[in-house]
Amino acid sequence: MNTTFCFVDLEGFSALTETHGDQAAADLVERFVVLVEAALRDTGRLVKTIGDAVLVTIVSPDHAVGFMQRLCTTAAAEAGFPVLRAGLHHGEAIERGGDFFGSAVNIAARVTAHAGGGQVLATERLAEAARLQGIEVTDLGTVALRNLLEPVRIFALGFLENRGDDAIDPVCRMRVSRAHAAGRLRLNDTDYWFCSLDCVARFADKPAAYRPR
């Protein structure tokens, strides 16, 4: 079947788990799944969760663009929610036992792995759909992706995920509102903002361990 495959994960999840513990991490993933399901509406389905990542299938590139727009908007509005990264590809795969297999799924996974925090990367069909919906699209060129024989042309889709007031806690990688941060430290003319006093203390004890990320 032909469909759009989309992987979305939480940037810096390992750092967050190490800093705030397993329970906080599990709660965060649970909230993430709720946001994903709400953003999908009736345009696709959540296939599975893989640690801090989800795989969703969406009926068309047009609907996939709408899904990412909704998800990025709601995630940005969540206080203390990590930055997302995502990869999308439209193609054919085989469904077995509720899961999907095939090159289209593999391409979507590799495109996601190439993305940095706050990036939504996609292949050409998705880029075309995004342009038609007025989304800024940047051509990143043809990229060799791990375990794929042929290079893939990828595009960055300009979804606005971070608000101007946002900073990233250097310790746990959580997104933090500067106006409501638990603490701030200035080191070598650079300001760092923190979600908790525990993160402040960890950074103050070993700043070199957290700069730069």
The mean pLDDT value for 124-146 works out to 92
Q: 41-89: per-residue pLDDT in tens?
A: 999 999 999 988 999 999 999 999 999 999 999 988 887 788 899 999 9
β-bridge pairing 2-10 and 53-58? antiparallel
Here the tokens at position 113 are 């792995």
Res 213 pLDDT > 50 = no
Q: Among residues of the chain, what percentage have pLDDT more than 70?
A: 96
Q: 1-32: per-residue pLDDT in tens?
A: 789 999 999 877 777 777 778 888 888 899 99
Res 164 pLDDT > 70 = no
211 φ/ψ angles, rounded to the nearest 5 degrees = -130, 135
For residue 117, the model assigns a pLDDT of 78
The mean pLDDT value for 164-179 works out to 76
Q: What is the mean pLDDT of the chain?
A: 87
Are 53 and 9 spatial neighbours (Cβ–Cβ below 8 Å)?
yes
Res 92 pLDDT > 90 = yes
Are 60 and 42 spatial neighbours (Cβ–Cβ below 8 Å)?
no
The mean pLDDT value for 187-191 works out to 85
Give the position of tokens 């297999």.
101
Q: Which CATH code is given to the segment(s) 2-157? A: 3.30.70.1230
Res 166 pLDDT > 90 = no
Q: Is the peptide bond before 61 cis (omega within 30 degrees of 0)?
A: no
Q: Where are the domains of the chain?
A: 2-157, 166-209
For residue 156, the model assigns a pLDDT of 93
pTM above 0.85, yes or no: no
d(CA 157, CA 164): 19
- DSSP code at position 81: P
Residues ≥6 apart with Cβ < 8 Å to 153: 123, 124, 139, 140, 141, 142, 143
